[in-house]
């Protein structure tokens, strides 16, 4: 459980990791941004590895929140709203993917996808026109997630880009599933 005193550290660290990956986790910069000294950081987190573990746990909790929303999602516009509400979480996940050579990051990335993937699949299949072919929708999801995380940045992850991204995927799936054999 996060204490109220730890909250600002976690919020800032989470955002820094989402923007810059592990390189963004510099105690001195975080302390300056929180308005505390470095000893305050070490009082709450012992070391940077402990802090990173707290951030990974926080990310898994955020994934659960996002998954809960995705299960109830009924439309592409609603999904886009959820994605934009969780922009920092997705950018954090992108950094985990980029830095997956670190075993802890790889494990958290996998776990996050295990939490959100099944929740996302229903609306995903509907959006790309594969509601009656969930196995195919799942395969397309696996392929497109890698592509998604390669493309997103703080600047590109917006409503217009997401609308276009989903439309392109739907068109691709339609072209592949309606080809003459």
10 Å CB burial of residue 160 (0-12, 13-18, 19+) is exposed
Of 79, 91, 86, the closest CA to residue 141 belongs to 79
Q: Looking at the predicted structure, is the pLDDT value of residue 176 above 90?
A: no
What does the pLDDT average to over 71-89? 96
Q: How many domains does the chain have?
A: 1
Answer whether residue 52 is part of any domain. Answer: yes
pLDDT beyond 70 at 180: no
Q: What is the residue range of 30's domain?
A: 7-177
- In tens, the pLDDT along 28-52 reads 999 999 999 999 999 999 999 999 9
Take residue 28 and report the two structure tokens written for it: 């001195």
pLDDT for 3 equals 55
Separation in Å, CA 130 to CA 83, 127, 139: 20, 8, 11
CATH of residue 37: 1.10.357.10
In the predicted model, what is the mean pLDDT of the chain? 92
Is 2 contained in some domain?
no
In contact, 86 and 67? CB cutoff 8 Å: no
pLDDT tens string 122-147: 998 998 888 888 888 888 888 888 88
Instruction: Please report the pLDDT score of residue 146 as a whole number.
Output: 86
In a domain, 1, yes or no: no
| Residue 2 in this model has a pLDDT that exceeds 80 | no
For residue 93, being part of any structural domain is answered with: yes
């Amino acid at each position: 459980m996060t204490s109220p005193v730890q909250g600002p550290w976690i919020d800032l660290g989470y955002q820094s990791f989402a923007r810059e990956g592990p390189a963004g986790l510099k105690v001195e910069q975080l302390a300056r941004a929180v308005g505390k000294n470095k000893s305050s950081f070490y009082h709450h987190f012992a070391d940077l590895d402990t802090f990173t573990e707290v951030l990974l746990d926080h990310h898994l909790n955020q994934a659960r929140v996002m998954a809960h929303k995705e299960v109830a999602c009924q439309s592409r516009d609603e999904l886009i709203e959820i994605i934009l509400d969780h922009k920092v979480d997705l950018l954090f996940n992108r950094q985990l993917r980029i830095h997956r050579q670190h075993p802890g990051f790889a494990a958290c990335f996998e776990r996050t996808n295990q939490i959100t993937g099944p929740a996302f699949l229903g609306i995903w299949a509907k959006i790309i026109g594969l509601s009656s072919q969930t196995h195919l929708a799942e395969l397309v999801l696996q392929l497109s997630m890698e592509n998604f995380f390669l493309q997103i940045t703080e600047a590109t992850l917006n409503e217009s880009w997401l609308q276009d991204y989903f439309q392109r995927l739907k068109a691709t799936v339609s072209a592949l599933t309606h080809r003459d054999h």
